[in-house]
Structure formats: structure tokens, C-alpha cells
């Protein structure tokens, strides 16, 4: 009968130390996974917001195109002579503009022109 309160008191004194590993894991999870993902999402949204007529883009599906018109979040892409498609801004993976964009695309393993052409 007298042992039960003693065990309960002993476990209470170890309580704060027991939570320390969980707190450390939570902080590491935030720093290593969540924070970089939030930063990447902000950069992607900023890139999508800067898309203008005349930009060369690559869609998520791998289609290369030239933005010919931007209207209410819909982009009209010219993908071949006489062929135009409409896509949402969210369907764009990469923007390739001028020399800077070509170099940025190449650093990601993407070239400025479709392979085989």
C-alpha cells in the first residue's frame, strides 16, 4: 500500500526530463524539414507571380512553351507553330527568360530547348 505513492512521486520527478527528447526531435523536424519547404513554396509562388507575356516556360508535364497571353491566372502557351494551349499558373514548373533563365534551367538539369531539336 505504501509503495504506490512512492512510485507515483518518483515518476513525477522524471517527467520534465522525459519530454526533452521529444522537444528536441520536434525542433529538428521544423528546422530540417518544414522551414526549407516553406521557403521553397514562397520562392515558387513569387516565380509564378512574375510570369509575363514573352517568357519561356516549362510546365509540370514537361511541355516547353512561350507565354503569349496572361489573363486571370490562365496562361496561353504557344507550344508549336499554330498550336496554343491554356494552362493555370500552378501548372508551371520553371520560367526560362533570356541568358539568366537558361543558366538557371541548366543548373536544375533542364536545358533551354527541348531535347532532340
Alpha helices in the chain (DSSP H): 3-13, 15-29, 35-49, 98-107
Q: What is the pLDDT of residues 23-63, one digit of tens each?
A: 999 999 998 989 999 999 999 999 988 899 999 999 999 99
Quick one: 84 and 69 in the same domain?
Answer: yes
Instruction: State the residue range of the domain holding 29.
Output: 3-48
Quick one: 43 and 72 in the same domain?
Answer: no
Quick one: 16 and 57 in the same domain?
Answer: no
Strand order in the sheet with 56-59: 83-88, 74-80, 64-71, 56-59, 92-96
3-state secondary structure of 109: coil
Q: What is the pTM of this model?
A: 0.57
Residue 116 lies in a domain: no
Quick one: 38 and 68 in the same domain?
Answer: no
Quick one: 44 and 59 in the same domain?
Answer: no
Quick one: 59 and 99 in the same domain?
Answer: yes
Residue 77 lies in a domain: yes
Q: What is the pLDDT of residues 58-97, one digit of tens each?
A: 999 999 999 999 988 899 999 999 999 999 999 999 999 7
Amino acid at each position: 500500500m505504501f509503495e504506490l505513492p512512492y512510485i507515483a512521486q518518483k515518476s513525477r520527478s522524471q517527467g520534465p526530463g522525459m519530454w526533452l527528447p521529444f522537444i528536441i526531435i520536434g525542433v529538428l523536424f521544423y528546422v530540417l524539414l518544414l522551414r526549407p519547404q516553406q521557403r521553397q513554396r514562397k520562392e515558387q509562388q513569387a516565380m509564378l507571380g512574375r510570369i509575363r507575356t514573352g517568357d519561356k516556360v516549362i510546365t509540370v508535364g514537361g511541355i516547353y512553351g512561350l507565354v503569349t497571353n496572361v489573363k486571370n491566372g490562365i496562361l496561353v502557351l504557344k507550344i508549336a507553330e499554330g498550336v496554343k494551349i491554356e494552362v493555370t499558373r500552378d501548372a508551371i514548373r520553371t520560367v526560362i527568360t533570356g541568358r539568366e533563365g537558361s543558366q538557371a534551367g541548366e543548373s536544375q538539369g533542364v536545358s533551354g530547348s527541348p531535347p532532340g531539336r
